[in-house]
Structure 1
Amino acid sequence: MGFIDRLFSRIGNDLAPAASRPEPDNVVGQNLVDGRFWGGEGLPFGAGVSSASEAAKVSAVNFCVGIIADTAGGVSVDLIEKDYRRSELELADVLAYAPNPLETGAEFWSSMVYNGALRGAAFAEPVSTGEGLEIWSLDPLRTTVDWKDRSFLLTYQDDGGLARQLGPADLFWFKGLSDATLRPLTPWQMARGSLDFAIALERQGRTFFQNGNRPGGIVTASGELTDEQFAHTKKAIDGWKPGKTALLEGGMDYKPISENNSDSQLAELITQRTVELARYWRIPLSMVAEVSAGKANSEQQAQDFVKYTIRPLTRRIEQAISRRLLTADMRAAGIRVRINLNSLLRGDSATQWKNAVLARTASLMSADELRVDWFDMPAIGEAWSRDARTPLNSNRAADTITGGQTAPQDQVETEDA
Structure 2
Amino acid sequence: MSILEGSVIAMGILSGIFKSRDKPKNRTAGSAYGFFLGSTTSGKPVTERTAMQMTAVYSCVRILAEAVAGLPLHLYQYTDNGGKEKAINSPLYFLLHDEPNPEMTSFVFRETLMTHLLLWGNAYAQIIRNGKGEVVALYPLMPNRMSVNRDEMGKLYYSYMISKEDAPNNKGNIVNLNPSDVLHIPGLGFDGLIGYSPIAMAKNAIGMAIACEEYGAKFFANGAAPGGVLEHPGMLKDPTRVRESWNATFGGSSNSSKVAVLEEGMKYTPITISPEQAQFLETRKFQINEIARIFRVPPHMVGDLEKSSFSNIEQQSLEFVKYTLDPWVSRWEQAMIRSLLSLSDKKKYFIKFNVDGLLRGDYQSRMSGYATARQNGWMSANDIRELENLDRISVEEGGDLYLINGNMTKLQDAGIFANKNNLGMEGTK
TM range (shorter): 0.7 to 0.9
1:331 matches 2:346: yes
SS in structure 1 opposite 2:85? coil
Question: Is 1:94–1:100's contact at 8 Å kept on the other side of the alignment?
Answer: yes
Kindly provide the amino acid, as one letter, of the partner of residue 139 in structure 2.
W
Residue aligning to 1:176: 187
Q: What does 1:34-49 correspond to in 2, within 5 Å?
A: 47-49=44-46
SS in structure 1 opposite 2:206? helix
Which of 56, 60, 66 is the equivalent residue of 1:64?
A: 60
Mapped to 1, the partners of 2:405 and 2:109 lie a distance apart of 42
Residue aligning to 2:116: 115
Residue aligning to 1:81: 77
Question: Is 1:152–1:167's contact at 8 Å kept on the other side of the alignment?
Answer: yes
Residue aligning to 1:167: 178
Change (3 A) 1:247 1:232: farther
Mapped to 2, the partners of 1:48 and 1:144 lie a distance apart of 22
Residue aligning to 2:336: 321
Change (3 A) 1:208 1:233: closer
Question: Is 2:376–2:404's contact at 8 Å kept on the other side of the alignment?
Answer: no
Deviation at 1:251, TM superposition (A): 4.3
Q: What does 1:116-131 correspond to in 2, within 5 Å?
A: 116-128=117-129
Mapped to 1, the partners of 2:178 and 2:129 lie a distance apart of 17
| Cα offsets for 1:369-388 (capped at 9, x unmatched) | 2212x121111130784646
Change (3 A) 1:125 1:246: same
Question: Is 1:147–1:183's contact at 8 Å kept on the other side of the alignment?
Answer: no
Mapped to 2, the partners of 1:206 and 1:140 lie a distance apart of 32
For the aligned residues, what is the CA RMSD?
Answer: 2.8
User: Structure 1: where are the runs of 5+ without partners?
Assistant: 1-33, 37-43, 395-417
Question: Is 1:283–1:309's contact at 8 Å kept on the other side of the alignment?
Answer: yes
1:211 matches 2:234: no
Change (3 A) 1:35 1:338: closer
Deviation at 1:223, TM superposition (A): 4.2
Residue aligning to 1:266: 280
Which of 201, 207, 231 is the equivalent residue of 1:196?
A: 207
Deviation at 1:125, TM superposition (A): 0.8
Question: Is 2:380–2:401's contact at 8 Å kept on the other side of the alignment?
Answer: yes
SS in structure 2 opposite 1:296? coil
Residue aligning to 1:344: 358
Which of 377, 380, 383 is the equivalent residue of 2:390?
A: 377
Q: What does 1:226-245 correspond to in 2, within 5 Å?
A: 226-227=237-238, 231-232=241-242, 234-242=244-252, 243=255, 244-245=258-259
Question: Is 1:208–1:214's contact at 8 Å kept on the other side of the alignment?
Answer: no
Deviation at 1:241, TM superposition (A): 1.1
Mapped to 2, the partners of 1:324 and 1:173 lie a distance apart of 8
Which of 224, 231, 242 is the equivalent residue of 2:235?
A: 224
Q: Which TM-score applies when normalising by structure 2?
A: 0.74
Question: Is 1:150–1:182's contact at 8 Å kept on the other side of the alignment?
Answer: no
Which of 137, 141, 145 is the equivalent residue of 2:140?
A: 137
| Cα offsets for 1:346-393 (capped at 9, x unmatched) | 112222222222232233322212212x12111113078464633377
Residue aligning to 1:308: 323
Deviation at 1:252, TM superposition (A): 4.1
Residue aligning to 1:151: 156
Greater RCO structure (CA 8 Å; 6+ sep): 2
State percent identity of aligned pairs: 29
Q: Which TM-score applies when normalising by structure 1?
A: 0.76
1:275 matches 2:308: no
User: Structure 2: where are the runs of 5+ without partners?
Assistant: 1-37, 408-429
SS in structure 2 opposite 1:287? helix
1:186 matches 2:183: no
Kindly provide the amino acid, as one letter, of the partner of residue 142 in structure 2.
D
Kindly provide the amino acid, as one letter, of the partner of residue 61 in structure 2.
V
Deviation at 1:259, TM superposition (A): 2.2
SS in structure 2 opposite 1:81? strand
Deviation at 1:253, TM superposition (A): 3.9
| Cα offsets for 1:181-206 (capped at 9, x unmatched) | 42212111112112111111211221
Deviation at 1:99, TM superposition (A): 0.8
Q: Which range moved further: 62-71 or 76-85?
A: 76-85
Change (3 A) 1:233 1:293: closer
Kindly provide the amino acid, as one letter, of the partner of residue 262 in structure 1.
E
Q: Which range moved further: 385-394 or 81-90?
A: 385-394
Mapped to 1, the partners of 2:157 and 2:229 lie a distance apart of 57
